[in-house]
Chain A
Amino acid sequence: MDLEKLEASKKEKYAMGVTILILLGAITLGEFGVALVGNNLGMILMLVALLKAFFVVRDYMHIGRLFSGEEE
């Protein structure tokens, strides 16, 4: 891979990291807001947590590598 392509790939992955951070931050804020509104929302909050965990496992932990054999 030449230097230009490598740099472009790095920038693309950095951008993905920023997107996920913004997404997680927004969901966490929403989670906090929902908890302030009502008390009997345990199931909803756990589902929201599941959604956040999904993004971390897929995009930060790269679970796909486990099955694809991707090197990077």
Chain B
Amino acid sequence: MTTEVKAMSHSGHEDLTAYRRRLGSNRLGLWLFLVSDAFMFGGLLVSRAVLWGDTRPELNQTLGFLVTAILLVSSFFMNRAETAMAHGDRKAFLRNTLITLGLGVLFLAGVVGLEWRIAPFGPSDDVYGAVFYMMTGMHAFHVLTGVIFLGVVWNNGRRGHYSAERHWAVEAAAVYWHFVDVVWIFFYPALYLIGAAVK
């Protein structure tokens, strides 16, 4: 009989001790993935610095500030959702996850639905378009995957798959969501604030 099989209880559920031991490896795996992803976003920031220098395109400042605020607030609700689940409060977990998900959709609508439409350039017009659409597009793709991740976690939570002791998926979704927020923390000044507006 293997160790893994021994770690299973009669009901088929993994033993809590084995689950906790595995949690360390899960966390390390997730963080390694995030670090590798951060290199890609770092590359985009470097291309912005090289290609735009001390300039930036004229973008809608109000919209940029609003979508940034939306993402920051979504991180707050995600933190509440995770805390709620860690304390066995499923109702609060579901409510806060749903709010986070909604704010994620609102962020996407603001950037992809609105900012892309009103931006005074296209993706293939010049370096401003190329960098702007690449950075916001890659980030929006991560927000979209985060929204899907949250949807899956919310649905599983609704069906009672998580408890205060076992909620790794909730923690992973939260860490991923906050990572997406961290990326925007750097992208916001790089796209909207740094440099002189030139067009």
Give A residues with C-beta under 8 Å from B: 6-7, 9-10, 13-14, 17-18, 20-21, 24-25, 28, 31-32, 34-35, 39-42, 45-46, 48-49, 52-53, 56-57, 59-63, 65-66, 69, 71-72
Contacts and interface: CB of A to CB of B under 8 A. Distances in A.
Question: Could you say which interface size class chain B belongs to?
Answer: 35 or more
Given A42-B194, A42-B195, A56-B178, A10 B78 contact: no
Given A56-B185, A71-B23, A17 B83 contact: yes
Would you call the interface of chain B mostly helix, strand, loop, or mixed? helix
A9 B65 CA distance: 33
B196 interface: yes
Would you call the interface of chain A mostly helix, strand, loop, or mixed? helix
B185 A53 contact: yes
Given A6-B88, A60-B78, 15 more contacts: A14-B80, A17-B83, A24-B75, A25-B72, A28-B68, A28-B188, A31-B193, A32-B65, A35-B189, A41-B194, A46-B189, A60-B75, A60-B181, A61-B178, A66-B28
